[in-house]
Amino acid sequence: MRRYKSLMSNSETYNWIPQECPICEVPPTTLLGKRGGSAHRAGLGVECIVWRCDQCGLIFPNPMPVPVNGLEQHYSVDPMEYFEHHHVDEKDTAGKGLVTQAECLIGYKGRLLDIGAGRGELLRAARLAGWEAVGIELSPTFAEYAARHSGAEVLRKPLEDCGFAPRSFDAVLLSAVLEHLYNPNEVISEIARIIRPGGALFLHVPNEAGLYFRLGNLYEGLRGRDWVVNLAPTFPPFHVFGFTPPALRALLSKHRFEVRNWSVYPGESLVPPHGGLMGRLEQHAARLVTAVSKIGELGTYIETWAIKV
């Protein structure tokens, strides 16, 4: 973590690009606050200004900090370091569950694309289950590990540069990926082109309108800070777009995907260990919020399967 703090502490390591809502294609209308650098309790990253689109609810920085040296500036690290809180066995098990769900939705095992393959657990599960699996992973260190772990082909270029034929995949998965991408609208558009009608798309993203984020922002305001807890554009895990249930539904509908399975759930507390009495109080409060957020669509994460129509 100290490596990231020293590397990302200079605003000159980013290009600051004016950002519209990629779903509604209009400028954001509601200023939420600051995030990163002096607006982070540990001083991580570079300060950004976070906004919300009031048409769909999408949350993002404006201007958008885009790494000067490309994505390697964020992700050229050992995958075991970046995924230190992700246990390989648990991810393998989760991968098996996802490919089983895909088969249940479309009725057969076909060709599967995993975008943002990470360490390759999902690719490995798909191949073992009898799918033809292909991965995309832009981090060279992650991609090398994923190819070894899964035995699948792992491409190291953006989806839109891969040149896949139209309707050439039966299932596409973006698990904990879409929030990292600088062009989510273009990516979902390309998926709509390469997936077969009736094919299944899986998405997993944080719910930036969840109770954790709402009360976190309220807490910062009560302390007299113009900070927010949404996103992490310039420090791990480098989330640059914050999806809400209306925003994700709007993006899927825009590209003719029909939601079939939809789940908003709490997950685990997002507050990392932090010293002192205040840090311990914050952790206990976060655990309480996580427990309460089982109600309605107040959970911290969204999972959905959608079918191309």
What are the structural domain ranges in the chain? 79-207+245-308
Q: How confident is the model at residue 22 (pLDDT cuts 50, 70, 90)?
A: very high
At residue 86, does pLDDT exceed 60? no
Using the predicted structure, report yes or no on whether residue 85 has a pLDDT greater than 60.
no
Please give the residue that has the higher pLDDT: either 93 or 280. 93
Residue 5 has pLDDT above 50, yes or no: no
Is residue 71 scored above 60 in pLDDT? yes
| pLDDT at 77 exceeding the cut of 80 | no
90-128: b or e for each residue (b if 16 or more CB lie within 10 Å)?
Answer: ebbeebbebbebbbebbeebbbbbbbbbbbbbbbbbbbe
3-state secondary structure of 308: strand
SS3 37: coil
- Cβ atoms within 10 Å, residue 151: 14
**Least confident interval from 69-73, 195-199, 297-301:** 69-73
The neighbour count for residue 261, using CB atoms within 10 Å, is 14
How many helices and strands, by DSSP H and E, does the chain display? 10, 12
| 154-171 pLDDT tens trace | 999 999 999 999 999 999
Instruction: Tell me: pLDDT of 220 over 60.
Output: yes
- Mean pLDDT, the chain, as a whole number? 90
Where do the H-state alpha helices sit in the chain? 2-7, 72-75, 79-82, 88-106, 121-128, 140-150, 184-194, 211-222, 245-254, 276-292
Rounded-to-integer distance, Cα 260 and Cα 118, Å: 26
Closest CA to 227 of 60, 61, 31, 33: 33
Q: In this model, does residue 287 exceed pLDDT 80?
A: no
Q: Which CATH class is domain 79-207+245-308?
A: alpha beta
Residue 245: CB atoms within 10 Å: 19
Share of the chain above pLDDT 70, in %: 88
Q: Is the pLDDT of residue 207 over 50?
A: yes
Provide the edge-to-edge strand list for the sheet that holds 169-175. 153-155, 132-136, 111-115, 169-175, 195-206, 301-308, 257-265
The whole-number pLDDT of residue 90 equals 74
Nearest of 70, 146, 140 to residue 114 by alpha carbon: 146
The reply to whether the predicted model has a pTM over 0.85 is yes
What are 239-263's pLDDT values in tens digits? 999 999 999 999 999 999 999 999 9
